[in-house]
Amino acid sequence: MKLYEFNRLDKDRQAQTLKDYGVLIEERLEKEDQVLVYQMQSFYAEVYYHKGYKIIKKLRSFTNADNVFPYVKNADLSNFKLN
């Protein structure tokens, strides 16, 4: 799926597409929100999910990998293996 196709979906379909086809890169808690970052084929998406109200507060998609850096800069890659 291309970014423009993803952006044309409503928020609920975007979230379901990320769950079904995305790769979860990072998950963190920020106050009452669970923040999830997914990688799709040609873009990334960041989802702010309010755990108490069980709603998506914000969902943004982007192609610039620099936006992912804050999430992965402290990631533990000690178990990561290349084939």
CATH of the domain at 63: 3.30.67
Identify the domain containing residue 19 by its residue range: 3-72
Distances (CA, A) of 9 to 14, 61, 82: 6, 12, 35
Whether residue 33 lies inside any domain: the answer is yes
What pLDDT shows up at residue 75? 60
Whether residue 81 lies inside any domain: the answer is no
Whether residue 80 lies inside any domain: the answer is no
Whether residue 77 lies inside any domain: the answer is no
Whether residue 57 lies inside any domain: the answer is yes
Mean pLDDT value of segment 39-46: 92
Q: How many domains does the chain have?
A: 1
Q: Tell me the pTM.
A: 0.79
Residue-wise pLDDT for 43-69, tens only, equals 999 999 998 898 999 999 998 877 776
Task: Write the DSSP symbol of residue 28.
Answer: E
Whether residue 79 lies inside any domain: the answer is no
